[in-house]
Amino acid sequence: MDKRNLFIFLFILALQANTNNVFAQIDIGAKDYYVWFDAAIGNGNSGIYNGTIFSEIYKTKPDNHRFFLDNTYQLGNLIYDNQTYYNIYLKYDIHDDQLIAKLPYLDNFLFLRLIKEKIDFFELNIDDKNATSKKYSFLSSKANPLVNDESFKGFYQILLKTTTSTLLKKNFKERSEFIDENLVYTKFSDRSYFVLLKDYKYYSINSKKDIIRIFPEQKRYISIFYRRNRKLFKKNENDFYTNLFQDIQLSIHKTEIK
């Protein structure tokens, strides 16, 4: 039992000594339970306060930044040092591949760069242009000890998870400098690539040939999909690859039950 769970256990015992209806006042679901617990003892007592102070060192134009989609802190969840934390304000620096947390401290906030090696998984809830919140999930390459490939490191966005494979996307930003009115600014440019995690191995996806190498028995189906979805590929690669691998999985399933 880790220190946090031990403290939870002792804390509940103390409460039960004073009241018989403590559990009637809380939701025993995991997420609501831990949110209630952290509020009861104060977040400062939890293990997420473990990292280095973050400060912005780059001067950029207002519409440019180094973070995933949005440069403001968004509510999210994460698994940190084998413990799950809910409703934490986070933003993901995809230039340095670091997760930043905004944590209450006394009457102010701490902005911490969390220790990357302690993070297995995290989620961000980000509002789109229509003010609709969308959840984005990310997996650390070290989360599965059975997968050991040094060429694939860091955090990967989870686009699709099936029974046999996981479609991932690596988001990152390249940095350059430019001068405007005698001031030096940094510019960050979005880049990405796709990866498939299958049979405890990572496969880079750069072309149709890469996918056929992974699923040679689906060659004809893959070629047809590419031919019919050229416009989607140009418009939205995320949707293209997600739809493709969903259909490949369905095709495999149909073949297996024949």
Q: What is the pLDDT of residues 47-98, one digit of tens each?
A: 899 999 999 999 999 999 999 999 999 999 999 999 999 999 999 999 999 9
Residue 34 within any structural domain of the chain: no
Q: What are phi and psi of 188, to 5 degrees?
A: -110, 130
On whether both 170 and 245 belong to a single domain, the answer is no
Q: What radius of gyration, in Å, describes the C-alpha atoms of the chain?
A: 22
Total domain count for the chain? 3
On whether both 46 and 164 belong to a single domain, the answer is yes
4 or 142, which is more confident?
142
66 Cβ contact partners less than 8 Å away, ≥ 6 residues apart: 58, 60, 93, 94, 95, 96, 173, 175, 188
pLDDT at residue 26 above 70? no
Tokens of 167: 């479609």
Nearest C-alpha neighbor of 136 from the set 31, 62, 34, 238: 238
Please count the CA atoms within 13 angstroms of the CA of 212 that sit on its side-chain side.
11
On whether both 187 and 74 belong to a single domain, the answer is yes
pLDDT at residue 136 above 90? yes
Domain residues for the domain of 175 are 42-206
State pTM to two decimals. Answer: 0.80
Q: Output the pLDDT for position 27.
A: 41
Which range among 144-148, 172-176, 236-240 shows the weakest confidence by mean pLDDT? 144-148
Residue 35 within any structural domain of the chain: no
On whether both 108 and 1 belong to a single domain, the answer is no
